[in-house]
Structure formats: C-alpha cells, structure tokens
Structure 1
Amino acid sequence: MVYIKKMVMHGFKSFAKRTEVFFDKGINVILGPNGSGKSNISDSLCFVLGRLSIKSMRAAKARNLLFMGSKYIKPAKEASVEITFDNSDRAFAIEKNEITLKRVVRSNGQGIYKINDETKTRLEVIEMLAQAGIDPYGFNLILQGQIQSIVKMHPEDRRKIIEEVAGISIYESRKEKSLKELEKTEEKLKEIGAILRERTAYLRNLDRERSQALRFKELEQIMRRCKASIIQKKTHEKEKEIANIDKSINEKGEYKEKNKEEINKIQQELEKYSERINEITKKIQQATGLEQETLHTNIANLKAELEGLRVRLENYENKKAEISRRMTEMERSIPSLEEEIRELKDESPLVAQKSQELKKKKEEMTKLEEERKRVLALKTELHSVKERIKDKERQLSRASLTSENLLKQLEEYTMDLTYENDKSCADSIISLRQSTISYKVQLSEIAQRELEKEKAISVAQSEIQKSEKVKKDVESMDVCPLCKSQITKEHIDHVNSDATSKIELAKSSISSAMQNLSEIREKIKTIQISLQNTEKKISVAEIELVKHKSAAEKKEQLKKMVEEERMLKDEILTLENKRKQLEEKTLDVSKIEEKYDQTILEIEEISSRTAEDVDTTLLYKERDLENIRSIIKRSTRDHGEVSQQIEELQASMKEKKHRLQEKESQEQDLQTRFKKMFEERENIQKQIQEKNLKLSEVQSGLRAIEEQINYLKIGKAKIDAEHEALQMEYTEFSEVEIIQGSISFLEEKLQKTQETLQQIGSINMRALEVYKEVKKEYDIVQEKVNTLDKEKQDIVAIISEIDNKKRRSFMKTYRAMNALFSENFSKLYSKGTAFLELENEEDLFSGGVNIVVKLAKSKYFDVTSLSGGEQTLVALSLLFAIQEYKPYHFYVFDEIDAALDKRNSERLAGLLNQYMKSGQYIVITHNDAIILNSHLLYGVSMHDGVSKVLSLNIKDSIPQEYLQPEKKPEQMPQAYLQKATEESLKREIAEHAKEEIAYNVAPLANETIEESIREEEVKDNMSSNNANQETTGD
C-alpha cells in the first residue's frame, strides 16, 4: 500500500526553514495551539499534490504561499514542498521503492514540478499520481472547515461523490472520448454527405438519362429482334421454297431422264424400222430400179398437194362467202347513212373546224400530262426532302436541348471553382496533404523543442537555487568542504562572485529560454491554425475535384453533342439547298395543274358540245360512211382475188387429180408385182409414223419438262439471291434473340416500336457509360457513408452500453455506500439513523442524492436543520463509508472533530482506529481521544512568525497500562497526558532552539548560545508570543 513516508517544507507559508515531517502508516496526529501553522501542513500536502486553486489553500494569490518574512528572517524567494511515497508494491509505474515528488513556486509565480529530481510537467505529475489513485482534489483531503460542506453540498455534487467512488469517471472519460469520436464521425458524415448529395443529384439526373437511354436501347433491341425475327422467318420460308423447288427439279429431272430413255428407245426402234425399210427399198430398187420409189414418192407428194389445195380452196370459199355477206350488209347500210349525213350537213357546217380544235386540245393535254407527271415526281421528291429536313431538325433540337442541359450542368459544376482543372486540383490536394504532414512533423519537432526549453529553464532555476544556497551557506562556514582550508573573506568573495556569475548566466539562460519558449508556443499556435486551414482546404479541394471530374465528363459529352449538331446542321443545309432547287423546279406546278385542269375542262366542254352538237355526229357519220365504202372496195377487190384464186386452185386440183390417177395406175401395176413387200413397207412406215408421233409427243414433253426445270432454276436462282441477301442481312443480327410469331405480327410490332422510337425525345447514350463510372464512385462514397454510419451506430451503442454500465456501477456503489453510511452513523450516533435517498430513481444522473436523518419519535430531519456536531457525524459517516467501500491510500483530516463533544470524539477515534489498517491518517486535532489513539504526534509551534514541527512517539511517552486494549481513553488522567505531552514538547523545543540560534549566528553575535537556550526555556508559552501570526498560520 502506498503511504506518505516524509514531507519536507521550505519557505512555504510559515515554514521558513527546511522542515521535515516523517509519517507513520497508522494514525498521525498534528496538534498545537491556534495560529501555530498546523493547517499549513495540510495546505502544503495539497500544494505538492498539484492543486491549482490557491484559495483552497487559504491564500489570495500564489505569492502568499511564500514565507512573508519575520523580524530575523528575510521573505522567501521561493516555496517548495517535497513529499516521499512508499512504492514497495509498485503502485507507481516506476521501478523504485520510494518516489519523491517536489513542487516549487517562486515569487514571480513560476512553478516547477519534479519527480525523483527530474523536472516534469504538471500533467505528467497528475498522470503518475493517478496510477496509484491519488487525486489532489480527492475526498481523502478534508481541509479546515470543509467537513460540514459535505453535508451542505448540493445533492448533485453529493451524487458526483458517489460517481467518483464508483469509478464512473472512467466511463465518463470513455463516454467523452466516444462522444468526440461521434462528433468527428458526424462531421465526416456531413462532409461525405454533402459529396453524396451532390453525387445523388447528379446520379439521379444520370439515372433518368440512363433510363431513357436504356428504354431507347431496349426499343432498338426490340426493333432489331423484330427485324431479325422477320428476316429469319423469311429466310426459313425461302429455304422451304428452295427445298420445294429442289424437290420439283429432282422429280422433273427423274421424269426427264425417263423421257430421254424412252426417246432413245424410240429412236433405236426407228433406226431398226429405217433399216428394214431400206432393205425392202433396196430389194425393190434392185428389182424395179428407182421407178417404183419415184412413183410412190410422186403419188405421196400429189396427195399432199391435193390435200393442201383442198384446204386452201375450202378456206377461200369460206372467205369469199364472208366477204359477200359483209358487202351485202354494208351496201344495205349505205343509203340510210347517206341520208343521215345529208341531214347533219344541213344542220352543222363547223364540224371540221371543231374536230381540228379537239385534236389540238388532246395533243396539248398529252404534253401537259407528261409535264404533270414529271412535276409530281419532283413534288414527291420534295416532300421526301422536307420530311428528312424535319427529321434532322428534330434530331438537332434534341441535340441542342441535350447540349443546353449539359451546359447548365457544366455551369453548375464550374461555379465557384478555384482550380483551373482537375489535375491542378489533385496536385493541390497532394501538396496540401504534404503540407499537413510537414505541419505535423513541425509540431512534433517544436513540441520536442518546447519540452527541451522547459527542461532547460528548470535546470537553470535549479542552478540558481544551488548558487544562492552556496552563497548563503559559505558565510556560515569556517572550513571549506572541498579544500579543507580556513574560509577567508577573499574565499567568500570569490565564491559569491562565481555564484553570482552563475546566477546571472542562469537568469540570462532562463530569459532567453522563456523568450524562445514564447516564440515556440506562438509558432505552435500558428502552425495549428495553418494545419486546420490546410485540412479545410483539403476537404474543399476534394469536393472540387469531384466537380472537376464531373465537369470534364460533361465537357466531353458536350463536345460530342456539338459535333453532332454541326453534322446535323450540315446535313440540313444540304437538304435545304436541294429543297430550294426542287421548289424552283416545281414553281410552275400550280400553273401546270391549272392549265391541265383547264384543258380537261375545255376538252370535256368541246366533247360535250360535239356530243350534243350535230358536228361531232356528222363527223362520225362521214367517217363511218368512208370506212364502209373503203371496206366495200377492199372486199370487192378481195372477192375478185379470192374468186380468181379459187378458179386457179380448182384448175390445179383438176390437173393434180389427173396426174394422181396416172401415178396411182402405174403404182397399182407395181403393187401387183411387189404386193407383199409394199405391204410390209407400208406397215413399217405406219409404225414409223406412230413412233415418230410418239417421239414428238415425248420430245414435246421433254422440252416442256426442261422449260419447267429452267423456270424452276430461274426461280430458284432468284430465291437463292433473296435467301443470300437475307442471310447477309441476318449476319448483323446473328446474336439477337428471336421473337416467336407470324411475320404480320412481327411487322406490326416493328412498326409500333419504330413509332415509339420516333416519339422519344433527346437521348444521351453517353449516360449509360458515364452512369457506370459515377455509380461506381457513388457506391464508394455510399460505402464510406455506410461505414461511417455503422461506426456512428457502434459508437452510439458503446455510449448506451457505457451508460448502462455507469448506471449499474453507480447503483451498486450507492447501495453499498448507503448501507455502510447507515451503519457508520449508528456507530457514531445512537439517537437516530441516517440513509441516502435518490432524488430521481428513473433518471439517476438528472437528480442528486439527499441525506435523510431520522431521530427519535420517528421524526425525519433535513441535514441542514441539524446541529454542527450532528452534521459533522453525518459527514464523517459518509466519509468512512467511502473509506470502507473504496479505501484511499492516505487521509488528511484538518480539525474534522471541532464540533464534536467528548463522547462523539471518542467514537470517532474508535472508527479511526478501526479503519487505520486500510489507510494512513494524518489528523489535525485538539481532541484527546484521537491523540491517545494515534501512533505519532506532531506538535507545531511558532516563534517570530516561523512554525516548527516537533515529533513525539506517543507509545513511548504514555504508560503502558493506558495503552492496553481494555483501557479506555477516558481512564487516562488528563493532567498526566497534558504534562507528558508538554514535557516532551519542551525537550523538542529546546533542541530546535539550539539549532535556531546556531543558524542565526549573525544577528545574535553578541549573545552566547547558553543565554539563547535559557531564553528559549523561559518562553513557556509559544502560542501567546506568536499571536500576530494567527492569519498566516490558519
């Protein structure tokens, strides 16, 4: 267990000289008259532990902590307190059995902390003390007049005491750290949230453009699928047609081969028949020569000629009869027609003129029709050009709208940009981050320099102290400790000069170091401000970098859209020129149409007038008459020619018949001679005729089949070409999914898809590619947000868990302390009970803790209405409850029993004796019972404004029979106790007086040491002589 072994005070308040106080592990009691400086010991303990509140140490300002001077002693230039802790159990993380802590304050307000003679900062001291659970503001330090403040304190402050005892401060520090982390996380969330909102807005616009592009792409894909499906369907149909044609060609080819075989067979048979006929003819010729053959040939020729003449004669006769019939009919119609013409001539003499006019109009109308067709073709072409212009203008409008949107977005992105481009922005971020690293390195280096300067100042101050001490000590020395020679005035002057030069040098060093330290701290502040500004600039630059990237993408899109607009404008300009040319060519179309319509009207008018008028009828009648007469003339001529030809044919037939008869008579003679051979030959010739007829039929069929095959091949070639074209067209859609359905269904779907595509406005196809990149960046930012949000939730969960642990720890401590508090109060005060009560049990930390006291007759009292002694008992009960629940290493009680009577003081002494095993007690008191139960007594006296401490081992000064456990404090005679104490103190005072006289040799040079001792012995009442130091002591 850590305890205080020793405390050294020098120049602190009334302790002008170096004063050492050794403490025991048990109860250490400090006593002395009022104004002797007892409470200055507790103040010095608070001072060395690192308290900053000067008023809590009963001083108005830091200078008042220094010894103010007396009749014989000068004011102190600095005050120091040094405390030594036992570290046997290594409560402090230092591998030494003793830890020395020292604090110095100078008249200029400068303070120095040291641990084992090494200069440290206050923070380092506080951290070291915290390792052993020592707090300079802890509840183990109860200074003068503070005991009742525990009772009178606000309930919330009382609750904080329980929190501290419960160790909730660790939860509070964790919670504070978690809250700082939560604040940082929320700040990061705000920063990234701003980026995310900007990205979200941009992504939302891109998503709309992407949806339109996807819809456009989907429709295009549907259109491609429809086209691919239609092409595939048509391809399959063509393949089926080709297959059918191939089948037909194959079938007809087989039939053709059969016909060829049959033709070959017939030709072979004909060859056999011809050979046989040749044999028969050869035999006949050998027998009759060529006569029979020639005769037979002549007969056959004559028969053929007669048959031809007969057919011709029959035709001529029919023709002659027809001519005669027609001539009869026309001759019958002439008289009536001539009569009608005569009548019409009498009525209209202008027929010829109107007929000529009508003929001209018709010729004119023919020319107009050709011109009209040409102009209509131009108009059709003009309409097509206009439609194309409209389509291009729509495309241009969409492109312009897209460009405007892109330009607006670009303006939004480039607004308030401080960097020229993303490269400069990225370079700036890299540079700023390097600057941040540089600033942090500089801060680290400067912090090291600051620590070195502080150490240098501390070393210089220590050197000044040593030099001053040397100057003081050398005057009181007779022999030099180094050279062992007698100290002379020159020796003293030399030492003083050397010490003065060292002091001046140290002061100069301190001044320079302080100036450098001020400059370093100012530089640290400047660098920290620069670091904060740089981090802000990095955050702004990162956001701007995102804008630059977005702007660059928009610029690229805008560039493409501008190029597309330029191309569209060029196309529109070309089409406009063509339109103007066509419009110039079709300027007269209205005139042509008007003239054409006018001509039609004129023709209709003339036609209607000639139809209604007699002239047209007369013209037609005359034409009919002329035609009839012309026909009659031709018919008469033809009739004569036909009659002559009939006569010639009849004469020729007669002559042929006569010759035939002659030939047949000659043939009859020959046939009689070669009858059998002629019959055989005739039979063969009949068979040849039949075979030739059959051959002709087969060859005709063969030619028909060949024509059909050729036709099929031509059709197949055409279909093959179409099929190949479809296949070539289908290569564009080779990977497209096919839609099932009929061609009509697919064509209808294709038409609807094309119409929908035309209705869609401007499309930014670039959005598909940009969306992926932006979505990727968005997902990264979103992931960061999710991570930060998860971190935030984790931190909130940690805070909630800390609050729960804090509540559980608090309630556990509260219940235990409440029980201990009630038990201690019952031990100290038998007339009642006391307990702690929470103001708000639902929300523990929004309310405080009240102390409820129940006295006789079941009456409850507020602690503020109790007497001073009762309040002290309540406060002590709470303090000892804290001690039992969470023991401190040591306690300092300054007159906590001032308001207690003898009986309650004895009870308090009993409690102190009970708890002394768990802690060290330093008690400032006037109470006999507590003095009797102590291990060490320290008497504090004051002479000429200077306090002195005298120690007394009470066990050695009091008879053993009064120190037995069964002996009660009140059984010891008060007079004996007072006498033993005074005698012991007088002996100590005498010893100290000798030292005081030896130390002040200079001012007391005319007095002897023995006289000083007698004078000190005469002064039996130290407190009355030092009444003027009342305020300084307490």
Structure 2
Amino acid sequence: MTEAQQTPSPKLTRLEMHGFKSFATKTTLVFETGITAVVGPNGSGKSNIADAIRWVLGETSPSTIRSKKTEDVIFAGGKGRSASGMAEVTVTFNNEERWLPSEFTEVTVTRRAFRGGGGEYLINGRKVRLKDVQRLCASLGQSYTVVGQGLVDAALSQRAEERRGLFEHAADLTGLRLRVVEGERNLAETDTNVTRLSDLLSQIEPNLKRLERAARQQKEWKDLRDRQLYLQRGHYRRLLLAASLRLTEAETGVAYQQNALSAAQRSLDNLISQRPALEARLQEATHALELHDARLSDLRQQLSETMHRKELVAERLGALDRRAQDALATKSGLQEQIGTTQERLDASLAALNQIDTELTVARDAAQQHQQLATLARSDRQKAEGELAAVGRDALQQERRIADLQQQRALIVQRQETSATDAARLQAEDTARTERLTELQTELTDHEQTDSKVAQQIVDLANQLITAQSNLDTITASIRDAAATRVDLEKQRNQAQYRFDALQRMHESGEGLYQGPRQVMQWHRAGKLTGVLGTLAELIKVDKQYDTALEIALGGHLQDIVVREWRDAEAAIGMLKQSRAGRATFQPIETVRRRNGNQQRPRDIIGQAGVHGIASDLVQSDSDVAEVVQALLGRIVVVEDLPTSRRLMDSLPGGWSTVTLAGEIARSGGSVTGGSQGRDSGVLSRERELRDLPQMIAALDRKLAEASGASSDLEAKIQQAQSTRQQLQTERADLLAQQKANAPQKQRLQQWIADIAKQEERATQHRDAAVITAGEREEKLNRLAAEIEAATTTLSELRDREALVASSLSTQRDGTADVDAALTIANATLAALEERKRAEERLQNQLVSQLRVQKTEIASRENDEAEMEGRKLALQEELGRLESDSEQLTSSVTAGDEARVPLAEALTATAEKTRTHHTEIETARQQTMEIERAHGAATLTLERARAETGGIQQRIIDDLNLEIPNDLLADTEEIDFTELPDDYEETEREIARLRNRLHRVGYVSDNVVEEYEQEAERFAFLTEQLADVQQASARLRAMLAELHETMQQRFEETFEQVSIAFSQAFTVLFGGGSARLVLAPDDDGAPGGIDIVAQPPGKRLQGLALLSGGERSLTAVALLFAILRVNPSPFVLLDEVDAALDEANVVRFRDELRTLADQTQAIVITHNRGTVESADTLYGITMGGDGVSQTLSLRLSDLPLDEDFDVRDLAAVQAGIPVR
C-alpha cells in the first residue's frame, strides 16, 4: 500500500446517522484527509451511507434513495429490537474556505423524518425550509457528487436530452436554474396581477360613470331638501313660538292655583303637624299612666321578692346555727386530744429532767473513777506489762457487755413507749374516720345541689338564647312588616294619584283634538246620543304591540265610534254650529255594510317574523270589531323591516305591514320609518285607566293583610319579652344560690384534704411501728445471746488474769476495785445518754402532734368567727329587708293614690285631640275645593300642551328632531320676512317642494363619498397596473440575461469536459479515443449530448455496442472528466468499480488518487485494489438484529510490511497478527 500524498483538507468532515434505514443506533463516520474506503459484505448497509448523504442534502425522490415512501428510510425493527420512531441524518462541512454560502466556518445540515408523518430541516441547529438547504448545497451538484449503484451505467443509458442535466450540474447551473424557476414563477404571478388589475379597471369604469350621474342627482335633491327644511324650520318655529306663548299663560294660571293650593296645603299641613304633638301628649299621658302602672306593678313585684328574700335569710340563719353547734362539738373533741397530748408531753419533760440529773451524777462519778484508775495504772505500769494483752481483752469484753446491756435497756424502754403511742393513734384514727364520713356526706349533698343548679342554669341559658332569637326574629319581622306597609302605602298613593290624574285627563279630553274633545264633553253632558267613545277607549292591545298599532292607526285613535249614521250627522252639525273644530266618526252600521268579505292572505300568516293581522291582535266588543276590522284588517304586524321586505311581493293590493318598532311598508313599495321621537302612549294610558282600579284594590287588600300581620307580631313580641324577663329572673336566682354555696363547698373540700393528709401520715407511722416492734424483739434475743457469750469470755479472761497475776496481787488488789467501779460508771453513763435521746425523740413527736391539734383548733375558731360574721350579716340583711318591705308597702299605697290625677289628665288630652281632628277635616275640605280649581287650570294647561304637542309631533315627523324645542334654540338665522304671511301659503310651498323632491328621487347621502372613493380607487389601480407592467418587463429582461449566461457557461463547460473526457478515456483504456457530441434538437430546443467511443483495437462505435466493462470504464472516464473540470468539494462513489477487472482497477485506482488531490473521495467498494488506495478504512457489518455496525481503521498508522485481505479488517483493528 502506498504512502498517502499531500491532499487538501476535507470538506465533508462528519456523518451522523440515527434510525436511518439499517443504522438504528447512533453511528458517526469521521472523514479525514485522503481517500476513505467503506467495505463490507453484501447487505451490510454500505450503500445506506450514500443514501443518507443524498437524503440529508435535500433529495425528495424516494426512488433515488431506494425507497417507496419517506417512512421507508426509518429503521423498521429487527430481531429483538423495536422499530424507530424517527430517522435523523447530520452532515458536517468544513467551511473555512467559504465554499458554501454561509458565514460559519463549520456548517451542519440535519434532516429528520418522523414515522407519524412530517419532517424538518436544520442548518446549524436552526429550523429552515427545504429551499434553504437546496440553495446552500446548490454548488455540490448531487448528480455527480453522490454516485450510487447503477447510476454510472445510467449516465450512458440516458437519452441525449436527459444526459444534458449532468453537464448543467457540472457547469454550476443549479443556482442559476433555481433563480430562473423563481423568476418565471414571479413573472407568472405578475402576469396574473396584470390580468386581475385590468379586469378590475374594466369593472370599475362603468360604475364610476353611474356614480358620477348619481352624485349630480344627489346635489339637486339636497338643494331642494335644504330649501324645504328651511321653510319648515321657519314655519314650525313661528307656530311653536305662538303655542309656547299660550302654554306659558296656561302655566302661569296653574302656578297661581298651585300657590293657592300650596297655601291651603300648608295650612292643612300646619294643622296636621300639630296633630302629632297632640297625639304625642295623648301618648305621653297614656304612657305616663302606663308607666305609673308599670312602676306600681314593679313595686308590688319588689315587695313580693323582698318577702321571699326574708324567708330565705331566715332559713340561712337557721342553717348557720346548726353548723355552729357541729363546729363546737368538733372543737371539744380536739381540746380533749390536746389535753391528753399535753399531759404526755409534761411527763416526758419531767422524765428528761430526771435523766439529766442522773447524767450529771454519773459523769461526776465516772470522772472520779477515771482519776483513781489513772493513779493506779501509773503505779502498776511496769507490772501490767506482762498482763497487757489479757487486760486489754478483758477490758474490751467488759465494754462490749456494757454496750449490749445499754442497747437492751434502750429497746425495752422503746417497747413501753410504743404501746402507749399505738393506743393513742387508734383513737385518733377512729375520730378522723367519723369526721371524714360526715364531711364527705355533706360535700356530696353540696355537689348534687350544685350540679342540679348548674343544669338548671344551662337549661335557662338555652331557653334565654331561644327566647332572644325568637324575639330578634319577631323584631325583624315587625321591621320588615313596617317597611312593607310603608312601601304598599307609597305604591297605593302613587297608583291613586296616577289614576286620579288619568281620570281627570280622560274626563277633560286631554290629548284629543278640539273636535273629538268637544264631542266627548257633549256626550258626557247628555247632549248627544249613540256615542260609544273614542276608538282608543274601546280597544285593548297587548303591550308589545302598542307602538305598532298606534303608528298603524295614527289619527284614527281619536275617531269617535257611534252606532248609526244619524248620530254622526248630529254631532257634525253641533260642531259646525259651535265652530268647535272637526272630528272623524265611525258609524257601526255603515262600517259593517262597507266591510263585506275581505280576502285574507293566508300564505303570509304563520311565516317567520309575522305576528298576525293587526285586527286579530286587538280585543274589543263585538260592535266595535267591525270598526277595528275596517281600520286594521289590511295591516300585517311583523317583527322588523327585513320581514316587511320579504312579504312585500306577496301582499295583496291595498295591504301594508307595520313593524313592532313602528315602520310601515305598503304594497305599493313605499316605506315610512325612522327615529321614534317620543311615545304618545294613548293605548298605554287607556290600559292604565283599566288596570289601575284593580291594582289599587289589590294594594288595599295587601295593606289590610300587612296591618293584621303587624298586630299579630306586636302581641307576639310582648309575649316574647315577658318570657325572656321571667327566664332572666329565674337564672339570676339560681346564680345567686350557686354563688352562696361555693365557699362552704370549698371549705369542705379543704377539710377532707387535710384529713386525708393526716390519715396518710398516721398510716406511715403505724407501718413504721409494726416494723420496729419485730426488729426490737429479734434484737433483744440477739443481745441476750451476745451478752451471755461475752460474759463467758470475760470470766475466762479473768481466771487467766488471776493465774498469771498472782505475783502482782498486791497491785491488782489496789487497782481492781477502781477499774471495776470505772467500768460500771461508764456503762451507767452510756445507758443514761441513750435514755435521754429516746426521751427527746418522744418529746419532739408530742410537740408536733400538739402543734397540729392547736392548728385545727385555730381553724375551727376561725370558722366559728366567720360563721358569726355571716350570721351578723344575715341578721343585718334580715333587718334591712324588713325595713324595705315596710317602705315598699308605703310606696304601693302612695302609688295607688297618685294614679288618680294621671287618669284624669289622660281623659282631658283625649278630648283636645278629638277637637283638633275636627279642625283638620274642615281644612281638608277647603283644600279639596282649591284642588278642583287647580284641576281646571291644569286642564287648560293640558290643552295648551296638547296643541304644543301636535306641533312638536309635526316637527319630529318632518324635521326628524328628537327634541322639538331644540328648534327654538337653533342658532341658524331665519328671515321670517321670506316666509309667506299666510300660514296656509307656507304649507302649500312646502308641499310643492315635497312633490319636486319625489320627482327628483332620493339618492343615498353617501353617493358623493362613494364616487370620490371609487374614483380614487380607479386612479390607484391604474397606477398599480403601470407598476406591475414595469416589474414584468424587468423580470423578462432578467430571465433573458439568465438564459444567455446559462447557455454561455454550459458551452464553456461542455468544451472543457469534452477534452478531459477524451484524455481520461485514453488513460483508463490504455489507448483508444472518445469524444462528446452536442446534437441540437429538431424543434430548436437545447439539444442533448451523445458519446462516441473507440476502445483500443476496435473501430468507432456507439455505446450500445460496448461490453459491460467498457461501458463502466467509459462512464467512469466521463465522471472523472466532469470532476476534473469542475471539482466537487467531495465525491462519494458507490461500487462504481464493480464491473472492472484487475488491470482496469489499477488504472481506476491511479485516476482516483489523482482526483483525490483536488476532491475529497469516499469509495464504497468490494475491490481489493481500490481499497489499497485508501487512507482511512471503514468496515460495515450487520448483526442478527438487522442493525449495521461500523469498524474504523487509519491504514497509514498500521506497521504492516505487506498487504492484507480486507476480510481481516476486524482482526487487524484488534491487533491480532494476520500473517
């Protein structure tokens, strides 16, 4: 294998595959300088590497990468391995030389495909479009950058026209081709825009002319309308000023009457305002009497309570006396115990004094004997040397015997003392037990009483809560009832006032024109017969149809319905005679004959938005129904104007529709509508006149029910207050009883606790005494035995001492008596000291017991003092209660006497109140007379308002002003001299203008604006069309320039490739010749490219006559020629040498090495000769799970002396020798 030559740095540095075809796991291939060879058995997945590079660079044809659909590139699974959900391939390019159109020195391109569908492209981790990847990689020329299996031979098998694309890639025309495609697409869009703009302009131009004519028509109509409005505004302003003057005079009259009414009302109010004071005094007198009776009742209650408390105090005094006797008996017992203890203490003191005297004598004697013995020992010190041991032993035994005897004496003394203490403790236990039983019984009684009282208190507290809740509920109900009654009274007064006003307006004919009003007055006065009333009075209408039917009927609402024709003639004659105006009459007999049978449009009724025929929506008597049918039988009530328009074509002649909002559409095509300035309310007012009496009666019933409910609630609240007061009194008594029992209960608990402590101490003392008695008996027996043993030992020592000390008899005779006397004296002294200590302990016990007994006596004396104090307090309280009862008895007597003048004062105040009520009634009558005068003035005012209202209605209808009086405040100057003096002439002029407006015809107010907008749009579109045409021309010029550049570059590249192909053919074949021929198409289109080859030793022939190896070698020569003319940054050859023999492989290898000096080469091969030229080797294997695996090896680093078989690649990589 040859050593690697110096080659340029690689452009393709890394390929990563994950889930792509057989590469299920993440696989990375690193490409370095030189030639990289990929080897492996068939089916191991080598060619999938070529497919991966082609796919990631933007290949969109599944067949090119040996697939049927995009999902086929995702790993489909294998034995023991599940399918992948995504395929991902990433290539990394070294862009330090800026051979890619990117500012980055390293460029990564990633493509992903998902099994669920869809995919994505990324450049340096940022999502991009396929177009961006194609633009980035346009310079690669995939057709010869990645040469797959069979594509080499395909280049020869293609038709001449198809082969041209290979050379276009070689000429770097891909980027220009993309620009041409984009330019042609933009040109097509531009041509489409030109066509669309031309169509729009052709559509707009006729409409623009029509709008121009309409604009002129609208100007003429507007001038006429302005003149009409000017006349109407001046005319209506004159009428409104005159009517306003008359209205002002009527308002002045009403104001005068109002002042008079106010004065009368103030007088009445003054009297009424005085009534509360009188009623208050009456209430005060009543309250004073009730208060006095309540106080008197309280005094009687207090007297009863005082007598009851006297009885309780007397009972408590008796209880204290009984407790004092019990305490005295207890105290006597304690005093006897103290006497006994004191006697024992005195005896103990006397015994202690006697022991002290004996101790003094014994100490003196012992001291004297000690002195004598000291003198004797001093004389016999030398003689005692021999008998020292015997003497010491004897002396020790003697001392031990003395100690034992002292201990025995002390134990005997303690036995005598213990017997006395046991008898005393037994007596104390018996007395303590009896006292404890008594105290526990008394405490149990107190606890039972307290528990019962506490339960009663809890029960009373719950009852109090319930009573208070009940009281709060009743109080709230009373407030609610009062508020309800006030609201009902207010509603009733408002309804009554409204009814009275409407009744007066109805009787006076307010709102009616002069003629109908006069006829109705004559009818009510009995001057006319056969009059049933105005139409508005005789019909009933649902509220939702008020507006529609008022508009539909219009002035017919004031038509007067009469029975016969002669009734109408009579009324008209009276109107003429009295010059009282005009009126329209509806005689039932003539209306009935005129109606006949009317054809009803049945196909309209029931449609959406149709409420029905107006006459069917009105309720009236059967006589009046004919009139209603005549006026409303040809009017259909509908929801809105769109419904009216829909029914327009199907309406019979003479019919019309009216909407709920009041718009009228007629079968002739006209429609009337607009803003509803105000609601005349004629029908609603008549409805109120019918409904208000029933409403007032219902309110009266509710008021009566509310008053009855209030009375019931007042009775309930008095009962609830009484119950609460009783419960509070009972609870206070129980709390007082509980508080009085608490101190005695605490004392009993303390006494029981003290006795329990005494019992505990006595128990401890008895237990100690029992233990001590047994120990003493045992100790006495042991001491007796020890004394006997010690005495025997002492006797033996003395005998020995007599035998040994015979020589010293003289000295011993002199000292023996002294030593014996000294021993006896010491023993006596020790026994006396022990008796003294025992007596002192007994004395301390007696002192402690005496102290406890005296403390108990003191406690008893304190209790006696406390009970004496409580007794004195109760006696004082009893005296006070007796005094209080006497005073309360006197107060009750005085209260009965004081009640008499209060009752007399109440009677006098009630009489004054009745007199004042009479004065109020008189003033109310006077006020009512003034109210009638005020009503007459109001009637005049209402007539003036009706006249003004008529003018205002005309202003609303004609001038479309929501507030008619705004006409008076109009700032527009009107020259009244321009108006005809005659009002009728003005009306005629306005009518003439109205007719001219009708002839000219109305055009929408927006037509001028529409014309201006359409003209502006026409000019804009014309400008846009010119701009688009210019852009189209620029695009055509650019495309022509691109085509010329592409053709020029193609021809240059073709010449260069043709020369290189001839050279490569000669080198690869070892002779022969070949050339490329550019053949133009018959129709003048760009022609294809033919290949003419002449292998060595053969004549010139076509490609079809070449052998398989010759075809492959010719295709390789063409590929190398293209790469030599336009070197690609890298090239991947997939088994292009498969059909070559060994001799041709050598020439192929040499050419490949030459190519590697300019282009990075990656070769997928089975050929050993090709592998020998590689610098880096990748081995591809496939395991049993269907997943491709890689092995990499840099051959230049291996210390091989000779070639090796590629089948040994795995062994070489593992370091295993292969030779």
Classify the TM-score, shorter chain: 0.3 to 0.5
Could you tell me the TM-score, scaled by structure 1's length?
Answer: 0.36
Could you tell me the TM-score, scaled by structure 2's length?
Answer: 0.31
